[in-house]
Structure 1
C-alpha cells in the first residue's frame, strides 16, 4: 500500500510578520529551517521509502524540500 505525505513549507519571514504571501516569496527563518530538519528526522523514523517528491516552484517550498532531502 502506498502512503502520501503532505508537508507545508517551513516558517518564513512573512509568516512572522503576519503578511499574507500568496505567490510572493519570503525566505525561511531559522525556525523554518529547523522545522524542515525535524520533518526529515520524522520521515527517517516513520517512512520506509520515499519514492517521489515534488513541490511548488516557490522558493520557500523548494528550500524546505531541499533541506528535507539533504537530511
Structure 2
C-alpha cells in the first residue's frame, strides 16, 4: 500500500532534475505522510497523533500502577 501511494502521489507526478531535488521532494512527501496525513489503519489519526495518544495512555497506565502499589 505504501509503495503504491508513494508512486501514485509523489513519483509519478514529479519530474526530478537531480538527486538532491528528488531527495527533497520525497522527504517532504514522507514528512506529510508520517505527520499530517490521516491513516485508516490508525483510526483515521495521523501517525504522530496516534503515537501521542499511545504515549499518553502508557503514561496514564504507569501512573495508575504507581498508585496501586
Question: TM-score, normalising length from structure 2?
Answer: 0.29
Rg larger in 1 or in 2? Answer: 2
Question: TM-score, normalising length from structure 1?
Answer: 0.28
